[in-house]
Amino acid sequence: MNVSGTGTRYLFNVHFLQEAMKQNNIRRYRRVHALAVGLVFSVASLAAGADTLTVSAASSLTNVFKEVAAAYSKAHPDTHIQYNFAASGALVQQIRQGAPVDVFASADQKSMDDAAKGGLLDEATRKNFVRNEVVLIVPASSNGAVRDLQSLEASAVKRIAVGNVASVPVGRYTREGLEKSGQWDKLASKFIFAENVRQVLDYVSRGEVQAGFVYATDAAVRSDKVSVVQTLPINTLVSYPVAVIKSSAHAAQARSFVQFLDSAPAQAIFANAGFKKP
């Protein structure tokens, strides 16, 4: 039986109960009432039987993972995906402290390595599923003062948004790139540190800073609010690893989700969002 929703069930039950009472047929009333109660409990049992998979993922995956969840649900209707998005380093801390997580998707290898060193991962499931790039962005309404990395040193540039190096992968990538160009120490007094890459994006899109460093895919999300100046040259590959958490209460479903990330439908979603193949 296909029951479309709570309102439909309620109207169905009331209609038959009223008919039974109108006919003053107590026996029929009791039969219909039992049927109604049974129907409600059956639907509740089906809902309770659906597995909920908790996926802790890097902030830069916020938009694209929601699309991936929709695609995954079509193939696995009995599994519900709920996300927890934050900086990768913060997510590792949450998992270490006992947060009930089934899958962890990081924006860098260091955070995943930290989780592995803590014995948190099902190591056999770890793999890279997409790549990205770090870019220098400015507000779309910028006056052109920031044209490249070197122009960040101009006295007119006062505030540059950067991810917190201790916990935000894009912050570590930014530091690597600016150390490579010899500018990290020169620009240090201008840095406004953010708790995740989306906060950097917010600072720039609202014009609260004159420039910032985010992933290329984040810049694409707010292409109406920010402009990309250039790609940040770094030696480290910006790859995203994923793994099942060893303590997962839904290990089979978690492995299924991780495997799905390599599928053609998922990779098409990633490509459309600007991510590259691993």
Helix pair angle (109-117, 169-180), 10° resolution:
130
- Let me know whether 207 and 79 are in one domain: no
Tell me whether residue 212 is in a domain: yes
CA distance 197 to 107: 10
Q: Give the range of the structural domain holding residue 184, as residue numbers without chain letter.
A: 134-231
- Let me know whether 64 and 98 are in one domain: yes
The pLDDT value given to residue 50: 63
Tell me: the pLDDT tens digits for 2-59? 333 333 333 333 343 344 444 444 444 344 344 333 333 333 333 344 689 999 999 9
**83 assigned ligand-binding residue:** no
**197 assigned ligand-binding residue:** yes
- Let me know whether 143 and 105 are in one domain: no
CA distance 179 to 162: 14
Burial of 7 (0-12, 13-18, 19+ CB in 10 A): exposed
- Let me know whether 158 and 212 are in one domain: yes
**240 assigned ligand-binding residue:** no
**Across 222-229, average pLDDT:** 97
- Let me know whether 226 and 92 are in one domain: no
Tell me whether residue 93 is in a domain: yes
- Let me know whether 63 and 180 are in one domain: no
The pLDDT value given to residue 51: 86
The pLDDT value given to residue 149: 97
- Let me know whether 113 and 192 are in one domain: no
CA distance 269 to 273: 6
Q: What is the mean pLDDT of the chain?
A: 87
**60 assigned ligand-binding residue:** yes
- Let me know whether 202 and 256 are in one domain: no
pTM of the model: 0.81
- Let me know whether 90 and 125 are in one domain: yes
Tell me whether residue 60 is in a domain: yes
Tell me whether residue 158 is in a domain: yes
- Let me know whether 139 and 127 are in one domain: no
Count how many domains the chain has: 2
Tell me whether residue 13 is in a domain: no
The pLDDT value given to residue 40: 34
CATH at residue 151: 3.40.190.10
Tell me: the pLDDT tens digits for 104-136? 999 999 999 999 999 999 999 999 999 999 999
Tell me whether residue 12 is in a domain: no
Tell me: the pLDDT tens digits for 150-204? 999 999 999 999 999 999 999 999 999 999 999 999 999 999 999 999 999 999 9
Residue 273 above 70 pLDDT?
yes
- Let me know whether 146 and 217 are in one domain: yes
- Let me know whether 185 and 156 are in one domain: yes
The pLDDT value given to residue 29: 39
